[in-house]
């Protein structure tokens, strides 16, 4: 596996949540910087040594409202 994709969303209570597509990896953090660190650590823990993907892609989904 060369790449793993994470869906990143803003949490209702604040901060961010991330879950991988295709693997059972989930993590959360207060900031995007912290989340990136947590994702790297979670991926390293999930895969056997030398088997982790070399690329981590973040698909960041953000809801915004525009009023008229």
- pLDDT, one tens digit per residue, over 23-62 is 999 999 999 999 999 999 999 999 999 899 999 999 999 8
pTM: 0.88
Query: How many whole angstroms separate alpha carbon 55 and alpha carbon 50?
Result: 13
Q: Residues 47, 39: contact at Cβ < 8 Å?
A: no
Q: Residues 26, 9: contact at Cβ < 8 Å?
A: no
Q: Please name the residue ranges forming H helices in the chain.
A: 32-46
Predicted local distance difference test score (pLDDT) of residue 64: 86
Q: Residues 19, 26: contact at Cβ < 8 Å?
A: yes
The count of residues in the chain is: 68
- pLDDT-derived band of residue 68, with 50, 70 and 90 as boundaries? very high
- pLDDT-derived band of residue 1, with 50, 70 and 90 as boundaries? confident
Q: Residues 16, 35: contact at Cβ < 8 Å?
A: yes
């Amino acid at each position: 596996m060369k790449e793993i994709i994470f869906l990143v969303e803003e949490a209702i209570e604040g901060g961010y949540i991330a879950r991988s597509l295709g693997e059972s990896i989930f993590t959360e953090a207060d900031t995007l910087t912290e989340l990136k660190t947590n994702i790297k650590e979670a991926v390293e823990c999930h895969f056997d040594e030398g088997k982790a993907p070399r690329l981590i892609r973040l698909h960041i989904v953000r809801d915004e409202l525009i009023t008229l």
